[in-house]
């Protein structure tokens, strides 16, 4: 398979409401779409997002890195999905966000050429084709705004069937966060509820939060302390916490999973394609977690389109599960880039939405062009 043409679309899509986190308040999705056309005329799509506090990438830098990578990619005859990572690394060191964007578009093309969904291709590549037909995945919803808004949103979404939740903490003082958590947990009693600090707590605050009776109904706590803390600090937190610990910003691939698991500092991990370099390394990470008896959360960056949602969900369908939920962040966008945005039904995402060949989402080019960032131009490669 050869790439005939490539087009990069740097997008800025407003959110329905600002998403306040410990280190930033997100008002727009700054995300990059890639369209590849192969020598057979097939069209494959990829996406990756700016995440300065997680990957160090701005929209401008990921646009430049992906354009640089594409110049080399157009000279390659792509024959084997398993070689995508090795080939990309010959041309560009690190930069997992850019690699994820190209890898997704290539896998879309490979799956189309094979006449199968991307999740099925992932199973074949990793030789787990004998797994049962995929069950639906529980979709995790984030709560934000005032406590009154969070409770009202939670009740309304719960009536729609949602049972997995994320509360952003580290935004307010510790006492306020704990009061919020207690109130929300009481309203959603029996559900899978997590609190995500995005590394905002000190070690002492994290221990106090995890040990508080007000947080006792949480199912797990995500990234309580920053990734820059020592393994000894994470070990101290894990030993002191009665609540399971999920790591996100600390996880950037198999190596970091092995280090954290070998040191017993986590009960599970949140996997994002922009950190790992794409769907194939994402699958490797998910398999490693399962092998070690650790829980899996699959998450898009806040916020990404249905394209990234499809890619992330494909890992869950290939693995046939995501116990700590799937976070599809296209629901937080004011508008999506396809005619039929992916959506949960009764709080779950069904594989039937991704059973067409390829990644399962074909963006509407008019909608894509409508959302192009004013700061950057479309690039033809």
Q: Which pLDDT tens digit goes with each residue over 354-372?
A: 999 999 999 999 999 999 9
Q: Rounded to whole angstroms, how far apart are CA atoms 101 and 79?
A: 18
**pLDDT at res. 365:** 96
- Name the token pair of 357: 């060949």
280-312 exposure pattern, b = at least 16 Cβ within 10 A, e = fewer: bbbbbbbbbbeeeebbbbbbbbbbbbbbbbbbb
Please provide the CATH number assigned to the domain covering 3-115+363-380. 3.30.390.10
Q: Rounded to whole angstroms, how far apart are CA atoms 110 and 276?
A: 20
Asked whether residue 292 carries a pLDDT value surpassing 90, the answer given is yes
Q: Which residue, among 122, 71, 119, has the nearest Cα to 98 in the 3D structure?
A: 71
Q: Where are the domains of the chain?
A: 3-115+363-380, 137-354
Strand bridging mode 379-380 / 245-247: unpaired
Nearby residues of 316 by Cβ (< 8 Å), 6 or more positions away: 134, 137, 296, 298, 322, 326, 349
Task: Collapse the DSSP code of 133 into the 3-class scheme (helix H, G, I; strand E, B; otherwise coil) and give the result.
Answer: coil
Per-residue confidence band for 270, with pLDDT thresholds at 50, 70 and 90: very high
The 10s digit of each residue's pLDDT in 30-79 is 999 999 999 999 999 999 999 999 999 999 999 999 999 999 999 999 99
Q: Rounded to whole angstroms, how far apart are CA atoms 11 and 227?
A: 28
**pLDDT at res. 22:** 87
Averaged pLDDT, 95-115: 98
**How far from the centroid of its chain's Cα atoms is residue 8's Cα?**
21
Does the CA dihedral 295-342-252-19 come out positive or negative? negative
Q: Rounded to whole angstroms, how far apart are CA atoms 87 and 381?
A: 18
**pLDDT at res. 295:** 98
Asked whether residue 246 carries a pLDDT value surpassing 90, the answer given is yes
**pLDDT at res. 145:** 87
Mean pLDDT score of the chain: 97
Burial of 359 (0-12, 13-18, 19+ CB in 10 A): buried
Averaged pLDDT, 4-24: 94
**pLDDT at res. 189:** 97
Report DSSP state, residue 136.
Answer: P
3-115+363-380 and 137-354 share one CATH topology?
A: no
The 10s digit of each residue's pLDDT in 124-146 is 999 999 899 999 999 999 998 89
Percent of the chain surpassing pLDDT 70: 100
Q: Rounded to whole angstroms, how far apart are CA atoms 243 and 292?
A: 19
Does this model's pTM top 0.85? My answer is yes
Tell me which of 3.20.20.120, 3.40.35.10, 3.30.110.40, 2.40.30.10 is the CATH number of domain 137-354: 3.20.20.120
């Amino acid at each position: 398979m050869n790439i005939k043409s490539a087009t990069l679309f740097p997008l800025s899509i407003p959110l329905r409401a600002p998403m306040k986190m410990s280190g930033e308040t997100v008002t727009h999705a700054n995300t990059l779409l890639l369209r590849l056309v192969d020598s057979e005329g097939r069209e494959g799509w990829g996406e990756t997002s700016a995440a300065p506090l997680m990957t160090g990438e701005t929209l401008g830098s990921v646009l430049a890195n992906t354009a640089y990578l594409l110049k080399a990619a157009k000279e390659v005859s792509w024959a084997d999905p398993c070689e995508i990572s090795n080939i990309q690394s010959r041309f560009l060191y690190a930069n997992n966000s850019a690699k994820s964007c190209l890898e997704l578009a290539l896998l879309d093309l490979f799956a189309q050429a094979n006449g199968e969904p991307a999740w099925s291709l992932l199973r074949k590549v990793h030789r787990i084709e004998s797994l049962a037909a995929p069950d639906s995945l529980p979709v995790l919803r984030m709560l934000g705004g005032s406590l009154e808004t969070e409770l009202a949103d939670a009740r309304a979404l719960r009536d729609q069937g949602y049972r997995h939740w994320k509360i952003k903490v580290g935004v307010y003082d510790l006492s306020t966060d704990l009061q919020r958590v207690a109130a929300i947990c009481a309203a959603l009693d029996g559900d899978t509820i997590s609190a995500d600090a995005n590394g905002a707590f000190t070690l002492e605050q994290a221990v106090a939060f995890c040990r508080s009776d007000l947080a006792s109904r949480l199912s797990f706590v995500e990234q309580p302390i920053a990734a820059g803390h020592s393994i000894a600090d994470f070990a101290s937190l894990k030993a002191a916490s009665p609540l399971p610990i999920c790591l996100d910003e600390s996880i950037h691939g198999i190596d970091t999973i092995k280090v954290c698991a070998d040191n017993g500092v986590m009960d599970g991990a949140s996997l994002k394609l922009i950190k790992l370099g794409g769907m194939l390394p994402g699958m490797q990470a998910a398999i490693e977690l399962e092998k070690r008896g650790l829980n899996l959360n699959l998450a898009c960056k806040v916020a990404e389109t249905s394209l990234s949602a499809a890619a992330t969900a494909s890992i869950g369908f290939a693995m046939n599960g995501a116990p700590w939920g799937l976070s599809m962040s296209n629901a937080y966008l004011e508008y999506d880039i396809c005619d039929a945005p992916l959506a949960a039904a009764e709080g779950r995402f069904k594989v039937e939405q991704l059973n067409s060949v390829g990644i399962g989402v074909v963006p509407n080019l008019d909608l894509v062009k409508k959302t192009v960032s004013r700061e950057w131009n479309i690039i033809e490669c």
